[in-house]
């Protein structure tokens, strides 16, 4: 049996807390999709934009530190929350609602699947634990 403290970065969650965080992600995904459906927005737009935050993977071309920062900016809820608040304050175009809900749905799905925010140690090191082949070793 290995000590997880030696194999995971500080701050990585395991056990019941990890399960709760993944369930929160699932809840975020479901809520965002239900709000999107209730608003009667285009499902074609949803399908086209749903994976857009994953373009942040390209940040890893500049190395793991830059990649983690770029990925985390696209996968943290502060971005869509800021967009939504700004949109409400400025009585913005409905596109703000579309982008916000799709973005939140993407983040929620990623978290539910265990893809957390990244550490600069590498792509497979997330706040929800190791992912990919590294998780199996």
Q: Note the pTM of the prediction, 2 decimals.
A: 0.87
Mean pLDDT, rounded, for 58-62: 96
Mean pLDDT, rounded, for 65-91: 94
User: What is the extent of the structural domain holding 78?
Assistant: 13-124
Split into its structural domains, the chain has a count of: 1
Judge whether 92 lies within some domain: yes
Cα 112 to its chain centre, rounded Å, is: 9
Judge whether 41 lies within some domain: yes
pLDDT digits (tens, 9 = 90+) for 6-19: 466 666 777 899 99
Judge whether 67 lies within some domain: yes
Q: In this model, does residue 35 exceed pLDDT 50?
A: yes
Judge whether 37 lies within some domain: yes
Judge whether 109 lies within some domain: yes
Judge whether 62 lies within some domain: yes
The b/e string for 63-89 (b: 16+ C-beta within 10 A; e otherwise) is ebeebbebbbebbeeebbeebbeebee
């Amino acid at each position: 049996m290995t000590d997880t403290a030696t194999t995971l970065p500080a701050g990585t969650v395991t056990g019941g807390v990890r399960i709760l965080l993944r369930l929160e992600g699932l809840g975020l995904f479901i809520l965002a999709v239900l709000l999107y459906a209730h608003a009667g927005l285009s499902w074609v737009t949803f399908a086209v934009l749903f994976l857009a935050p994953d373009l942040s993977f390209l940040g890893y071309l500049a190395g793991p530190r830059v990649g983690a920062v770029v990925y985390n900016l696209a996968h943290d809820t502060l971005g869509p929350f800021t967009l939504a608040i700004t949109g409400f304050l400025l009585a913005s175009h409905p596109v703000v609602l579309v982008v916000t809900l799709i973005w939140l749905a993407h983040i929620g799905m990623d978290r539910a699947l265990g893809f957390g925010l990244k550490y600069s140690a590498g792509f497979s090191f997330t706040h929800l634990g190791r992912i990919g082949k590294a998780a199996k070793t």
